[in-house]
Each structure stands twice: as structure tokens, then as C-alpha cells.
């Protein structure tokens, strides 16, 4: 991932931490068996989640049923 400069829209902070959500937090594609953990970009000052990503985006291709 590129290390571009982001700014928190809430508190203006520019330092961020990464969080992983897995276990029961896994997102499942509709109609499929394999889900993906979610990675969040979090502002450690105010707690805002700036961005969320699934770590296996290809599993959500054609998940539409």
C-alpha cells in the first residue's frame, strides 16, 4: 500500500494505525463460503475509521445472490 499523506477529517491528525478484523468480524460474500478479514485504517486520536478494506477482494467478485 502506498504511504500517501492522509488527514483525519475529524481531528486533523495525520498518524494512523492499522486494525485487523477477523474471526467473527469476517465479511462473507453473499452466497459464498469463503469470507475475508477486514483491514481498517484507524485514527488513534479520535478513533475514526478512515478506510476499510477486505484483504481478499477477489472473493467478492460475482457475489451477488
Query: Which region among 16-24, 25-33, 47-55, 56-64 touches Zn ion (by CB under 5 A)?
Result: 47-55
Per CB under 5 A, 41 contacts Zn ion: no
One of 7, 10, 22, 62 touching Zn ion (CB under 5 A): 10
Task: Give CA torsion, residues 44, 41, 10, 8, to 10 deg.
Answer: 100
Per CB under 5 A, 28 contacts Zn ion: no
Per CB under 5 A, 11 contacts Zn ion: yes
Burial of 29 (0-12, 13-18, 19+ CB in 10 A): buried
Amino acid at each position: 500500500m502506498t504511504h500517501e499523506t492522509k488527514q483525519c477529517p475529524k481531528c486533523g491528525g495525520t498518524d494512523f494505525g492499522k486494525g485487523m478484523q477477523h474471526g467473527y468480524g469476517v465479511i462473507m460474500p453473499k452466497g459464498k463460503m469463503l469470507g475475508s478479514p477486514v483491514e481498517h485504517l484507524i485514527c488513534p486520536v479520535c478513533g475514526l475509521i478512515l478506510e476499510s478494506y477486505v484483504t481478499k477482494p477477489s472473493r467478492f467478485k460475482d457475489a451477488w445472490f
